[in-house]
Amino acid sequence: MLRSIAPGALQQRHKLVMLSMVAVFICYIDRIAMSVTIIPMAEQYGWGPETQGRVLSSFFVGYLLLQILGGTLSDRFGGKVVLGVGVLLWSLFTVLTPLAASFGLAILILNRIFMGMGEAVTYPSIYSLLARWVPQSERARAMGAINSGIPLGTVVALVITPLIVQAYGWEMVFYSYGLLGVLWFVFWQSTSSEPSTHPHISPEELAHIQAEGEPSKAETAPPILQLLKSPAVLAIMVAHFCNNWSLFLLLTWLPTFINKGLGVDYASVGYFTMVPFIISVLFYNISGNIADRMIKGGMAVVKVRKIMQSVSLGGMAATMMVVGYAESVWVAIGIMTLGNILGSAAIGGFVVNHMDIAPKYAGTLMGITNTMAAIPGIIGVYAAGYILEATGSWVMVFQLAGAVSLFGMLFYLIFASADKQFD
């Protein structure tokens, strides 16, 4: 996964990356569960597309609220504690979902908001940890490995959830998935927020990490206003926003598109929708490796970031513009798979750019950009439901996402930087 000091030896930073990946995996299993169970739930409760959009988008209201606070707390007090608490909280509200639904739509939406608040701290705390644990020359590969948890969790949820629903009912989905976070928390206790405080790290690994300048813990309040005034930060924010518009659209509406738009029966939805995400697992890691090799080969970091981000958002723009016209499920899946392959290049673009420009405040900066990037989960996901209810046009839904991606690519090309600007 990452280059080791002693060949074949598993270093403590590798273990941290693997456990972070598992946290993301569980995060997306729990998140995607609603995207699949919304179909039988809508039939049971009589929800139309607009109401389904409200339920699906409500998660992102909570997801938006705690991003910056989660990053600030992680930079100040350590990502280990913040991520651990976050996983336990979102797991609790996952388990409570069926009970909340039984009390009505308003209580369900409130429960989804609380669940989103728990998941909000995931990436800010992970970024804070990686800025301290992983040297710059290994970060794209580390984020490639961690982000593999997104498609892995998505695939498992897409395939397993319909089977659980058919065998035990949709309620059992939330009970079983929620317990995974408690199990993960037990293993998470073996980690540490700082390499220097880990009881089992070797002197060789600590020296390797510190050789590229391990950032210290942020003892003062982060310069949020300064961060917001930086064109380089704005470039990351815009790229993150535009990237997540397509990501959240596919995560929340793809099962419905396959089921209702292309006529695939509910039991088979997961098998079709998993294909683009399985491919993403491979290409997240390939893209991270390519970006790190380009940097080690002497290419300027900013050039690497812009090339990778252009491939990512440009590729997503092209595929979103045409996928709505697909009349065959396999044609649609093929186009989306190509989009995910190209989109994975973001691992070497904006995804690690936070740690280039503000390693000491990486968690806070990720919280800021992820706050912006949560907005598509609210307006984009809801807008898709509104467009479908008003026009029934999947073409319009996808082409709007394509236009957003194209704008993000151009903005990042103009304003992105890789110079350390905050210390």
Tell me the domain boundaries of the chain.
12-415
Rounded (10°) angle between helices 231-256 and 350-357 = 150
Structure tokens given for 212? 């590229």
Q: pLDDT band for position 89 (50/70/90)? A: very high
CATH number for 12-415 (one of 3.10.520.10, 1.10.8.290, 3.40.50.720, 1.20.1250.20): it is 1.20.1250.20
Chain segment 269-290, per-residue pLDDT in tens: 777 878 888 888 889 889 989 9
CB contact at 8 A, 69 and 367: yes
Chain segment 48-71, per-residue pLDDT in tens: 888 888 898 888 888 888 888 888
* Sequence letter at residue 149: G
User: Is a pLDDT exceeding 90 seen at residue 19?
Assistant: yes
User: Is a pLDDT exceeding 80 seen at residue 177?
Assistant: yes
Q: pLDDT band for position 32 (50/70/90)? A: confident
Q: pLDDT band for position 83 (50/70/90)? A: very high
Question: Rounded to whole angstroms, what are the CA distances from 231 to 164, 304, 372, 407, 414?
Answer: 47, 18, 15, 16, 9
What's the CA gap between 302 and 372, in Å, rounded? 22
Which segment of 112-121, 247-256, 315-324 scores lowest on mean pLDDT?
247-256
Highest mean pLDDT, choosing among 7-21, 54-68, 211-225: 54-68
Higher pLDDT, 212 or 297: 297
pTM: 0.77
Highest mean pLDDT, choosing among 54-63, 113-122, 368-377, 413-422: 113-122
Instruction: Please report the pLDDT score of residue 204 as a whole number.
Output: 86
* Contacts of the segment 291-295: beta carbons below 8 A, 24+ positions apart: 291/140, 291/347, 291/348, 291/349, 291/352, 292/137, 292/138, 292/139, 292/140, 292/141, 292/348, 294/348, 295/136, 295/137, 295/140
What's the CA gap between 346 and 369, in Å, rounded? 14
